[in-house]
Amino acid sequence: MTDYKTKLIELLKANDVIKFGKFTLSSGKESDYYVDMKKAITMPEILECVAHLITEQIKDDEVDKIAGPALGAVPIATATSLISKKPMLMIRKQKKSYGTSKQIEGELLEGDNVVIVEDVTTTGGSLLKAIDVIEDNGGHITQAFVIVDREEGAQSAFEEKNIKFNPLLTISEFKSYLD
C-alpha cells in the first residue's frame, strides 16, 4: 500500500467520512454504511492526497485532460489538474439552456485522451453517463478513477464498456482496515 493510500484511509477514518449504522441512500435503498464524500472533497488534505494517488497512476500515460462530472467530482478534477499539470474539464448533468449551451466546460479536442474522476460509485451509472458525454464530443476515456467504490456493480459495468476502472479504495478495503 502506498503512503498516500494509507494516508487517505487514515484521513477518511479520522474525518468520519464513512459512517456505519442504518442509512437510507438517495436511491431509497437501505445500507449499513454511508459514504459522506461531499464532506471529504471539501477538505484540502484529502483532496491533495487523492490528487497525488491519481497522478502517480497516470504520470506515465498519455493523458490530455482530467474530467469530473458536476458536482462532487469537480474538486477532485481541480486538485488532480493542479498536481498533474493537466487541463481539466467539467461535465454538466445537462446542457446549459443559456449562453453557449455547453455540457462540457473546458477545451475538449477531438481525440483527447481523458481520465475521468468521481467521488463515490455504487453501480457506476452516473459516471458512465458522463463518459458518454465525453465520447460523444470526440474525447477518448482512458481510465476512470473513484475515491470510494461501494462494490455494487460499478466494476463490472466498466468492464462491459472496456474502460479501466480504478477505485482508490473499496468499501471492503476500508472495512478490513478498521478490523
103-159 pLDDT tens trace: 999 999 999 999 999 999 988 998 999 999 999 999 999 999 999 999 999 999 999
pLDDT for the residue numbered 29: 82
Q: Residue 59's domain spans which residues?
A: 3-178
pLDDT tens, position by position, 44-56: 999 999 999 999 9
Phi-psi region of 99 (alpha: psi -120 to 50; beta: other; left: phi over 0): left
pLDDT for the residue numbered 1: 60
Question: Looking at the 3D structure of the chain, how many domains does it have?
Answer: 1
pLDDT for the residue numbered 153: 92
How far is it, in rounded angstroms, from Cα 111 to Cα 62?
12
- In the chain, % of residues over pLDDT 70: 96
68 C-beta neighbours (distance < 10 Å), count: 29
pLDDT of 101 > 80? The answer is: no
Q: How confident is the model at residue 16 (pLDDT cuts 50, 70, 90)?
A: very high
- Residue 167 is placed in which grid cell? 477505485
How far is it, in rounded angstroms, from Cα 66 to Cα 76?
9
Q: How confident is the model at residue 167 (pLDDT cuts 50, 70, 90)?
A: very high
Q: What average pLDDT does this structure show over 67-96?
A: 92
pLDDT of 99 > 80? The answer is: no
CATH of the domain at 22: 3.40.50.2020
DSSP 8-state code for residue 79: H
pLDDT for the residue numbered 157: 93
